[in-house]
Amino acid sequence: MINRRNFLKAGGTVVACSILGARNVLGAEDFEGNPERFGMLTDTTRCIGCRRCEAACNKANALPSPKTSFEDTSVFKKERRPYVADVQSYTAVNRYMDEDGKPVYRKVQCMHCDEPACVSACPVAALTKSNEGPVVWNDKLCIGCRYCITACPFYVPAFEYSSAFQPKIQKCFMCRQRIKDGLLPACAEACPVEAIQFGKRRDLLKMAKQRVWSHPDKYIDHVYGETEVGGTDWLYVSKVPFEKLGFPSNIGTTSLPKLTKDFLSMVNLTLISFPALLGGFYLASNKSPHRETENKQIEEDLKHE
Protein backbone atom coordinates (compact mmCIF):
# COMPACT_ATOMS: atom_id res chain seq x y z
CA MET A 1 0.00 0.00 0.00
CA ILE A 2 1.13 3.55 -0.50
CA ASN A 3 1.97 4.74 2.93
CA ARG A 4 1.32 8.34 3.69
CA ARG A 5 4.90 9.24 4.54
CA ASN A 6 6.33 7.97 1.26
CA PHE A 7 3.52 9.45 -0.71
CA LEU A 8 4.16 12.87 0.77
CA LYS A 9 7.88 12.49 0.22
CA ALA A 10 7.53 11.67 -3.46
CA GLY A 11 4.73 14.16 -3.96
CA GLY A 12 6.73 16.84 -2.18
CA THR A 13 9.69 16.30 -4.49
CA VAL A 14 7.42 16.64 -7.48
CA VAL A 15 5.87 19.87 -6.23
CA ALA A 16 9.23 21.29 -5.17
CA CYS A 17 10.62 20.64 -8.63
CA SER A 18 7.80 22.42 -10.36
CA ILE A 19 8.11 25.43 -8.08
CA LEU A 20 11.87 25.59 -8.51
CA GLY A 21 11.47 25.26 -12.23
CA ALA A 22 8.70 27.82 -12.46
CA ARG A 23 11.00 30.43 -10.96
CA ASN A 24 12.39 31.24 -14.33
CA VAL A 25 9.19 31.59 -16.22
CA LEU A 26 9.90 32.99 -19.61
CA GLY A 27 8.11 34.56 -22.50
CA ALA A 28 9.01 36.72 -25.43
CA GLU A 29 7.82 40.26 -25.08
CA ASP A 30 5.84 42.13 -27.63
CA PHE A 31 7.56 45.32 -28.65
CA GLU A 32 4.87 47.94 -28.71
CA GLY A 33 6.48 50.77 -30.55
CA ASN A 34 6.16 54.35 -29.39
CA PRO A 35 4.06 55.96 -32.18
CA GLU A 36 6.13 59.14 -31.79
CA ARG A 37 9.41 57.28 -32.36
CA PHE A 38 12.05 58.76 -34.62
CA GLY A 39 13.32 57.32 -37.84
CA MET A 40 15.45 58.14 -40.84
CA LEU A 41 14.74 58.17 -44.55
CA THR A 42 17.43 57.55 -47.14
CA ASP A 43 16.65 58.48 -50.71
CA THR A 44 19.08 56.57 -52.90
CA THR A 45 18.10 58.65 -55.93
CA ARG A 46 19.55 61.74 -54.26
CA CYS A 47 22.74 60.27 -52.82
CA ILE A 48 25.87 61.42 -54.67
CA GLY A 49 28.34 59.11 -52.90
CA CYS A 50 30.34 61.90 -51.23
CA ARG A 51 30.89 59.88 -48.06
CA ARG A 52 30.42 62.94 -45.85
CA CYS A 53 27.98 60.93 -43.72
CA GLU A 54 30.76 58.44 -42.99
CA ALA A 55 33.14 61.23 -41.99
CA ALA A 56 30.51 62.89 -39.80
CA CYS A 57 29.70 59.56 -38.11
CA ASN A 58 33.37 58.99 -37.44
CA LYS A 59 33.71 62.42 -35.85
CA ALA A 60 30.46 62.38 -33.85
CA ASN A 61 31.23 58.99 -32.33
CA ALA A 62 34.97 59.64 -31.84
CA LEU A 63 35.89 56.53 -33.86
CA PRO A 64 39.48 55.71 -34.92
CA SER A 65 40.86 57.77 -37.80
CA PRO A 66 40.26 56.25 -41.25
CA LYS A 67 42.87 54.25 -43.14
CA THR A 68 42.36 56.36 -46.24
CA SER A 69 40.59 59.72 -46.37
CA PHE A 70 36.79 59.78 -46.35
CA GLU A 71 37.00 61.51 -49.73
CA ASP A 72 38.69 58.53 -51.34
CA THR A 73 36.28 56.94 -53.86
CA SER A 74 38.41 53.85 -54.51
CA VAL A 75 36.66 52.19 -51.53
CA PHE A 76 33.60 51.74 -53.77
CA LYS A 77 35.34 48.92 -55.61
CA LYS A 78 34.31 46.62 -52.79
CA GLU A 79 30.90 46.20 -51.21
CA ARG A 80 31.49 47.19 -47.59
CA ARG A 81 29.63 46.43 -44.40
CA PRO A 82 29.42 49.03 -41.63
CA TYR A 83 31.99 47.33 -39.39
CA VAL A 84 34.08 49.87 -37.51
CA ALA A 85 37.26 47.80 -37.76
CA ASP A 86 36.93 47.90 -41.57
CA VAL A 87 35.43 51.32 -42.28
CA GLN A 88 36.07 53.36 -39.09
CA SER A 89 32.45 54.44 -39.08
CA TYR A 90 29.07 53.01 -38.09
CA THR A 91 27.93 53.50 -41.66
CA ALA A 92 29.29 52.76 -45.12
CA VAL A 93 28.24 53.95 -48.54
CA ASN A 94 28.38 51.42 -51.36
CA ARG A 95 28.19 52.00 -55.09
CA TYR A 96 26.09 49.92 -57.46
CA MET A 97 25.35 50.38 -61.16
CA ASP A 98 21.83 50.66 -62.55
CA GLU A 99 20.72 49.28 -65.92
CA ASP A 100 22.01 52.35 -67.77
CA GLY A 101 25.42 52.00 -66.13
CA LYS A 102 24.86 55.02 -63.90
CA PRO A 103 26.06 54.77 -60.30
CA VAL A 104 23.50 54.36 -57.50
CA TYR A 105 24.74 54.80 -53.95
CA ARG A 106 23.34 53.17 -50.90
CA LYS A 107 24.21 53.97 -47.31
CA VAL A 108 24.31 50.95 -44.98
CA GLN A 109 23.88 51.10 -41.21
CA CYS A 110 21.69 49.68 -38.46
CA MET A 111 18.05 49.61 -39.61
CA HIS A 112 16.71 50.16 -36.06
CA CYS A 113 14.00 47.50 -36.40
CA ASP A 114 10.72 48.03 -34.58
CA GLU A 115 10.96 44.50 -33.22
CA PRO A 116 14.68 43.86 -33.36
CA ALA A 117 16.02 40.31 -33.52
CA CYS A 118 19.19 41.47 -31.75
CA VAL A 119 17.22 42.84 -28.77
CA SER A 120 15.27 39.62 -28.36
CA ALA A 121 18.50 37.64 -28.72
CA CYS A 122 20.38 39.43 -25.95
CA PRO A 123 20.45 37.21 -22.83
CA VAL A 124 21.27 40.15 -20.55
CA ALA A 125 19.08 42.86 -22.12
CA ALA A 126 22.16 44.90 -22.99
CA LEU A 127 20.52 45.78 -26.30
CA THR A 128 17.23 47.64 -26.05
CA LYS A 129 14.79 49.38 -28.31
CA SER A 130 14.72 52.88 -26.85
CA ASN A 131 11.54 54.85 -26.58
CA GLU A 132 12.89 57.41 -29.07
CA GLY A 133 13.44 54.69 -31.69
CA PRO A 134 17.18 53.92 -31.80
CA VAL A 135 18.30 50.41 -30.84
CA VAL A 136 20.94 51.03 -28.20
CA TRP A 137 23.56 48.96 -26.39
CA ASN A 138 24.64 49.02 -22.76
CA ASP A 139 28.36 48.54 -22.21
CA LYS A 140 27.79 47.74 -18.53
CA LEU A 141 25.73 44.59 -19.23
CA CYS A 142 27.14 43.04 -22.41
CA ILE A 143 28.79 39.63 -21.89
CA GLY A 144 30.10 39.40 -25.44
CA CYS A 145 28.13 36.29 -26.52
CA ARG A 146 27.51 37.73 -30.01
CA TYR A 147 24.08 36.17 -30.40
CA CYS A 148 22.92 39.63 -31.57
CA ILE A 149 25.31 39.32 -34.51
CA THR A 150 23.98 35.86 -35.37
CA ALA A 151 20.41 37.15 -35.11
CA CYS A 152 20.67 40.35 -37.16
CA PRO A 153 19.23 39.76 -40.64
CA PHE A 154 21.08 42.82 -42.00
CA TYR A 155 24.61 41.83 -40.88
CA VAL A 156 25.01 45.05 -38.92
CA PRO A 157 26.35 44.65 -35.36
CA ALA A 158 30.12 44.31 -35.14
CA PHE A 159 32.23 42.93 -32.32
CA GLU A 160 35.65 44.21 -31.32
CA TYR A 161 37.57 40.99 -31.85
CA SER A 162 40.85 42.80 -31.27
CA SER A 163 39.98 43.72 -27.69
CA ALA A 164 40.60 41.23 -24.90
CA PHE A 165 39.40 43.31 -21.97
CA GLN A 166 36.52 45.46 -23.15
CA PRO A 167 35.26 44.24 -26.49
CA LYS A 168 32.31 46.35 -27.60
CA ILE A 169 29.31 45.75 -29.81
CA GLN A 170 29.61 48.46 -32.43
CA LYS A 171 26.77 49.73 -34.57
CA CYS A 172 24.83 52.87 -35.42
CA PHE A 173 22.86 54.20 -32.43
CA MET A 174 21.11 56.89 -34.50
CA CYS A 175 23.16 59.46 -32.53
CA ARG A 176 20.78 59.01 -29.62
CA GLN A 177 22.61 61.55 -27.47
CA ARG A 178 22.46 64.17 -30.23
CA ILE A 179 18.74 63.51 -30.66
CA LYS A 180 18.26 64.03 -26.92
CA ASP A 181 20.22 67.28 -27.16
CA GLY A 182 17.91 68.45 -29.93
CA LEU A 183 20.47 67.98 -32.71
CA LEU A 184 20.16 66.01 -35.93
CA PRO A 185 22.00 62.69 -36.26
CA ALA A 186 25.49 63.49 -37.59
CA CYS A 187 25.00 61.84 -40.97
CA ALA A 188 21.70 63.64 -41.67
CA GLU A 189 23.30 66.95 -40.71
CA ALA A 190 26.32 66.36 -42.95
CA CYS A 191 24.40 65.25 -46.04
CA PRO A 192 24.65 68.05 -48.65
CA VAL A 193 21.72 66.82 -50.78
CA GLU A 194 19.12 65.83 -48.17
CA ALA A 195 19.45 62.18 -49.11
CA ILE A 196 19.32 61.35 -45.39
CA GLN A 197 16.44 62.84 -43.46
CA PHE A 198 15.60 62.61 -39.81
CA GLY A 199 12.13 62.86 -38.29
CA LYS A 200 9.28 60.97 -36.74
CA ARG A 201 8.94 57.61 -38.45
CA ARG A 202 5.28 58.11 -39.32
CA ASP A 203 6.01 61.48 -40.97
CA LEU A 204 8.94 60.04 -42.87
CA LEU A 205 6.82 57.13 -44.08
CA LYS A 206 4.21 59.55 -45.41
CA MET A 207 6.93 61.58 -47.06
CA ALA A 208 8.43 58.48 -48.65
CA LYS A 209 5.08 57.32 -49.99
CA GLN A 210 4.32 60.75 -51.32
CA ARG A 211 7.58 60.73 -53.27
CA VAL A 212 6.90 57.27 -54.64
CA TRP A 213 3.35 58.16 -55.69
CA SER A 214 4.08 61.54 -57.18
CA HIS A 215 7.12 60.32 -59.18
CA PRO A 216 6.32 56.80 -60.35
CA ASP A 217 8.96 57.24 -63.07
CA LYS A 218 11.64 58.01 -60.51
CA TYR A 219 10.88 55.46 -57.78
CA ILE A 220 9.88 51.82 -57.60
CA ASP A 221 6.69 51.22 -55.65
CA HIS A 222 8.27 49.99 -52.43
CA VAL A 223 9.39 51.74 -49.27
CA TYR A 224 12.03 49.42 -47.86
CA GLY A 225 11.65 49.16 -44.11
CA GLU A 226 7.93 49.78 -44.00
CA THR A 227 7.16 46.12 -43.40
CA GLU A 228 10.50 44.27 -43.62
CA VAL A 229 11.01 42.06 -40.54
CA GLY A 230 7.99 43.71 -38.97
CA GLY A 231 9.06 47.25 -39.87
CA THR A 232 12.26 49.25 -39.40
CA ASP A 233 12.75 52.85 -38.36
CA TRP A 234 15.24 53.46 -41.15
CA LEU A 235 13.40 53.71 -44.45
CA TYR A 236 14.69 53.70 -48.02
CA VAL A 237 13.27 54.73 -51.37
CA SER A 238 14.96 53.86 -54.62
CA LYS A 239 14.74 53.78 -58.38
CA VAL A 240 16.26 50.32 -58.74
CA PRO A 241 14.97 47.17 -57.03
CA PHE A 242 16.36 46.91 -53.52
CA GLU A 243 17.94 43.48 -53.98
CA LYS A 244 20.21 45.11 -56.58
CA LEU A 245 21.48 47.46 -53.86
CA GLY A 246 22.61 44.72 -51.52
CA PHE A 247 19.45 44.64 -49.40
CA PRO A 248 18.60 41.18 -48.14
CA SER A 249 15.45 40.16 -49.97
CA ASN A 250 14.68 36.87 -48.24
CA ILE A 251 13.84 38.22 -44.80
CA GLY A 252 10.07 38.47 -45.04
CA THR A 253 7.73 40.71 -43.10
CA THR A 254 7.33 38.71 -39.89
CA SER A 255 9.12 40.15 -36.90
CA LEU A 256 11.92 37.73 -36.08
CA PRO A 257 11.35 37.57 -32.28
CA LYS A 258 8.02 35.92 -33.06
CA LEU A 259 9.91 32.92 -34.41
CA THR A 260 11.28 31.99 -31.00
CA LYS A 261 8.23 33.06 -29.04
CA ASP A 262 6.34 29.81 -29.60
CA PHE A 263 9.32 27.84 -28.42
CA LEU A 264 9.75 29.94 -25.30
CA SER A 265 6.11 29.49 -24.42
CA MET A 266 6.74 25.72 -24.29
CA VAL A 267 9.02 26.32 -21.33
CA ASN A 268 6.27 26.84 -18.80
CA LEU A 269 4.34 23.89 -20.13
CA THR A 270 7.33 21.60 -19.67
CA LEU A 271 8.20 22.93 -16.25
CA ILE A 272 4.69 22.34 -15.00
CA SER A 273 3.75 19.09 -16.72
CA PHE A 274 6.99 17.11 -16.51
CA PRO A 275 7.27 16.74 -12.73
CA ALA A 276 3.73 15.39 -12.55
CA LEU A 277 4.27 13.08 -15.50
CA LEU A 278 7.61 11.69 -14.36
CA GLY A 279 6.58 11.51 -10.72
CA GLY A 280 3.66 9.40 -11.92
CA PHE A 281 5.93 7.11 -13.92
CA TYR A 282 8.13 6.69 -10.90
CA LEU A 283 5.23 5.76 -8.64
CA ALA A 284 4.03 3.28 -11.26
CA SER A 285 7.44 1.72 -11.85
CA ASN A 286 8.55 -1.50 -10.17
CA LYS A 287 11.50 0.32 -8.66
CA SER A 288 9.34 2.49 -6.46
CA PRO A 289 9.37 1.35 -2.81
CA HIS A 290 5.58 1.72 -2.62
CA ARG A 291 5.17 -0.51 -5.57
CA GLU A 292 7.30 -3.20 -3.92
CA THR A 293 5.14 -3.30 -0.79
CA GLU A 294 2.10 -3.29 -3.01
CA ASN A 295 3.42 -6.25 -5.00
CA LYS A 296 4.14 -8.16 -1.80
CA GLN A 297 0.64 -7.47 -0.63
CA ILE A 298 -0.74 -8.81 -3.88
CA GLU A 299 1.44 -11.92 -3.65
CA GLU A 300 0.27 -12.56 -0.09
CA ASP A 301 -3.33 -12.08 -1.11
CA LEU A 302 -2.84 -14.62 -3.89
CA LYS A 303 -1.31 -17.12 -1.45
CA HIS A 304 -4.29 -16.82 0.84
CA GLU A 305 -6.58 -17.56 -1.99
Taking the complex as a whole, how short is the minimal distance between the CB of residue 87 and another protein, in angstroms? 11
Residue placing its CB nearer to another protein in the complex, 29 or 300:
29
Looking at 3, 7, 27, 203, which residue binds another protein (CB under 8 A)?
Answer: 27
Pattern 275-304, another protein, x by CB under 8 A: x--xx-xx--xxxx----------------
Taking the complex as a whole, how short is the minimal distance between the CB of residue 230 and another protein, in angstroms? 13
Q: Is 21 near another protein (CB under 8 A)?
A: yes
Looking at 97, 143, 193, 298, which residue binds another protein (CB under 8 A)?
Answer: 143
Q: Is 92 near another protein (CB under 8 A)?
A: no
Residue numbers 250-279 binding another protein by CB under 8 A: 250-252, 256-257, 259-264, 266-267, 270-271, 274-275, 278-279
Q: Choose one: 44-52, 99-107, 146-154, 208-216; the region binding another protein (CB under 8 A).
A: 146-154
| 3-state per-residue secondary structure call for the chain | CCCHHHHHHHHHHHHHHHHHHHCCCCCCCCCCCCCCCEEEEEECCCCCCCCHHHHHHHHHCCCCCCCCCCCCCHHHHCCCCCCHHHHCCCCEEEEEECCCCCEEEEEECCCCECCCHHHHHCCCCCEEECCCCCEEECCCCCCCCCHHHHHCCCCCCEECCCCCCCCCEECCCCCHHHHHCCCCCHHHHHCCCCCEEEEEHHHHHHHHHHHHHHCCCCCCCCCECCCHHHCECEEEECCCCHHHHCCCCCCCCCCCHHHHHHHHHHHHHHHHHHHHHHHHHHHHCCCCHHHHHHHHHHHHHHHHC
Pattern 157-176, another protein, x by CB under 8 A: xxxxxxxx-xx---------
Looking at 73, 155, 203, 213, which residue binds another protein (CB under 8 A)?
Answer: 155
Taking the complex as a whole, how short is the minimal distance between the CB of residue 212 and another protein, in angstroms? 25
Q: Is 77 near another protein (CB under 8 A)?
A: no
Q: Total binding residues for another protein by CB under 8 A? A: 71
Taking the complex as a whole, how short is the minimal distance between the CB of residue 259 and another protein, in angstroms? 5
